[in-house]
Amino acid sequence: MAAKYLTEQGYVVLEKNLFTPYGEIDLIAKEGETLVFTEIKYRKTKGFGDGLQAVDCRKQMRISKSALYYYTYHGYEEQRSCRFDVIAILGDGELTHIKNAFEYMGG
């Protein structure tokens, strides 16, 4: 659902469920020349909190390390712009897309 949404918004989806030594990146897409690393969170209901709240500092660090691994593996220059988005999906189909949800957490 998230990949379809991004495609409809003009993104080009490059990878789905990419596993790296540091963790998984749910979606990698391009918006123009910007690489977009997207974490997707699904919740059946809001009863246990919004899916966006589940992307804590630990998760952000893993995604950041995985993104750096992706850059290195594919030979991208460090200057190539990227951002980290989060998409939350509820069981009723409601989708919330947060662009620039967090900054790179290098370490």
DSSP labels for 26-58? EEEEEETTEEEEEEEEEESSGGG--GGGG--HH
Inside any domain, residue 16: yes
Q: Give residue-wise pLDDT tens across range 3-50.
A: 999 999 999 999 999 999 999 999 999 999 999 999 998 877 666 656
What radius of gyration, in Å, describes the C-alpha atoms of the chain? 13
Q: Which residue has the higher pLDDT, 16 or 90?
A: 16
Range of the structural domain that residue 67 is part of: 2-102
Q: Is residue 50 part of a domain?
A: yes
Task: Judge if pTM exceeds 0.75.
Answer: yes
Domain assignment present for residue 107? The answer is no
CATH value at residue 97: 3.40.1350.10
Summarize pLDDT for 54-80 with one digit per residue, the tens: 788 889 999 999 999 998 888 876 667
Q: In 3D, which of 64, 37, 39 has the Cα closest to residue 51?
A: 39
Overall number of domains in the chain: 1
